[in-house]
Amino acid sequence: MDDLKVFKFGGACLKDAQSITNAGTILQHFEGDKLLLVVSAVNKTTNQLEKVVNAFFSGNEEAVHMLQAIQYEHVALANDLGINDPEALNEIEDCFIDALWILEDQIQDPYDYVYDQIVALGELASSKLNYHYFKNIGIDISWLDVRDVLRTDESYRAGVVDWNITQQKSQEKIAALLLTNKVIITQGFIGSTQDNTTTTLGREGSDYTASILAYCVDAHSVHVWKDVEGIMTGDPKLYKNATLIKQLSFSEAIEMCYFGAKVLHPKTIKPIQNKNIPLFVRPFGDVMNPGTAITADQNFVYSPIVIIEENQVLVELAVKDFSFVAEHHLSEIFAILKDLKIKVYLMRNTAINFIFSTKYEEVKIAKLKSCLEDSYFINITNDLTLTTVRHADLDFARKELGMKKVFFEEQFSHTLQLLHN
C-alpha cells in the first residue's frame, strides 16, 4: 500500500471542538489521498482514567462517578461539534459501559490488567467521536477497532507486539476497508491478546501504533501532527536556545528518543527504519509546514541537541560484607530492577559499588530499598536532573545550562550525560 499515508493526531491536537475542527481541515486538505488516521485519547483523558483506576483500587466509591464524568465530557464535546444523531451519541457513551461493569464489581484482577481495560477506553471514545465528526463534514471515512489487527502478548501496560499476526491482520482488514473508503480512523496505544483482552503499549504509545501499522502495510509515509513546530534541539521550556531541526536521520532520532526526547515514543522509529518509510513531525496549526523530516539520509551536521530529564535519583549500592561487586550481585540487582519495571538511565560499577540513576517514583523506590537493604548499604540522592547533550562537549553544557554540582558524568561517541542539581 505504497500510496497510503499514516496520520497520527495526539491528545493535545484533539483537546476541544476547535482543535478537532482543525483536524478535519487537515484531512480535507488531503482529500483524495488514502489515509490511515491513528488518534489518541482526547486531551487529558488518559490521566483522568488513570485516576479512576487508582480510586477503584484504593476503595474510593467515587470511581464510578469519576468515570461517568469523563463519559459526559465526551458527549458534551460531541454536542459542541454538532454531533446530535442519537445513534452516534450512544456509540460514544457505550465505549465506557465495560468499565462501569468493572467498577461496580469487587476487585478480582491484577492492577495492570484492570488498568488496560479501563484506560484504553479513552482511545476508543476519541476515535468514535472523531469518526462521527469527520463523517458529518463529508470525509469519506470508516472506523476500525485496532484490537482486531494489533496483536500483543499478555504483558499488560507494556504489550509486546506479535508482528507476524499483526502484519497479516493489518493487510487484510485495512485493504478491505480501503475498497470502500479513502480514510480509515483507528486507535493508538492499544491492542489485544490472542484471547481478545485489551492491552496497552505503554504511555504515549500512539506514535508507536502509527509506526507499527505503517510497517505492516508498507505505507508511503508517517505524519505525526503535534502542537509544536517540529522536533527541536531541546525542550523550549527547559532550554531557551532550542531551535527547529528540519532534518534528522533515523539513527539520530532513535538516539534522541532513547535518551528521553519527548516528541516521539521511543519505539516509534525502528519499525519504519526497517522499511525506509519516512516520518514527518508536523505542526498541527500549519498544514503547509513539513516540520521535521526523519529519513535514512545520514549526511547531516547537527547543532548541539539537549535532552533534559528532571526528577531523577542517584542510587548507590555497596555490598555489606565489602566483597567485590561480582556477577551474581549484578544479576540479583538487575532481576529486581526488571521485576519492578525500573528504567536505568546511567550506571557504573566499581570494585565494591554499583551506581545508577532512575526516575523518582516513590512506590518503586520504596520497594527497591525493601528488596535490597538486607544485602546492600543503600544511599539515595534525590532532586537531580539528567542532561544528555548530543554533538557538544562539557564546556558547552556548563556554559549553556548553568549546572551546579555534577554527581555523575558519562561520555561516549557523540553523547555526553551529566547527572546534576
The CATH number given to 4-295 is 3.40.1160.10
CA angle 84, 86, 87 (to 5 degrees): 120
> What's residue 132's pLDDT?
98
Residue 377 has pLDDT above 80, yes or no: yes
pLDDT in tens, 251-297: 999 999 888 888 888 899 999 999 999 999 999 999 999 999 999 99
pLDDT in tens, 191-229: 999 999 999 998 888 999 999 999 999 999 999 999 889
In angstroms, rounded to a whole number, what is the distance separating the alpha carbons of residues 374 and 230?
A: 48
Q: Which three cell numbers stand for residue 135?
A: 463523517
- Integer CA distances (angstroms), 100 to 56, 61, 62, 106, 128, in order: 11, 12, 12, 12, 18
Tell me the pLDDT band of 388, cut-offs 50, 70 and 90: very high
Q: What is 305-420's CATH topology?
A: VC0802-like (3.30.2130)
Tell me, rounded to whole angstroms, the distance of Cα 181 from its chain centroid.
28
Residue 398 has pLDDT above 80, yes or no: no
In angstroms, rounded to a whole number, what is the distance separating the alpha carbons of residues 419 and 102?
A: 43
DSSP alpha helices (H): ranges in 143-288? Answer: 163-178, 206-217, 250-258, 269-274
Say what percent of the chain tops pLDDT 90: 83
Residues in the chain: 421
Please, what is the average pLDDT of the chain? 94
If we measure between CA atoms, which residue out of 161, 74, 169 comes closest to residue 123? Answer: 74
> What's residue 219's pLDDT?
98
Return the CA Rg of the chain: 23
In angstroms, rounded to a whole number, what is the distance separating the alpha carbons of residues 372 and 370?
A: 6
Residue 327 has pLDDT above 90, yes or no: no
> What's residue 38's pLDDT?
98
CATH 3.30.2130.10 range(s) for the chain read 305-420
> What's residue 22's pLDDT?
97
Of 46-50, 179-183, 322-326, 411-415, the one with minimum mean pLDDT is: 322-326
CATH 3.40.1160.10 range(s) for the chain read 4-295
Residues 6+ apart with CB under 8 A from 148: 169, 173, 192
Residue 300 has pLDDT above 90, yes or no: no
> What's residue 61's pLDDT?
87
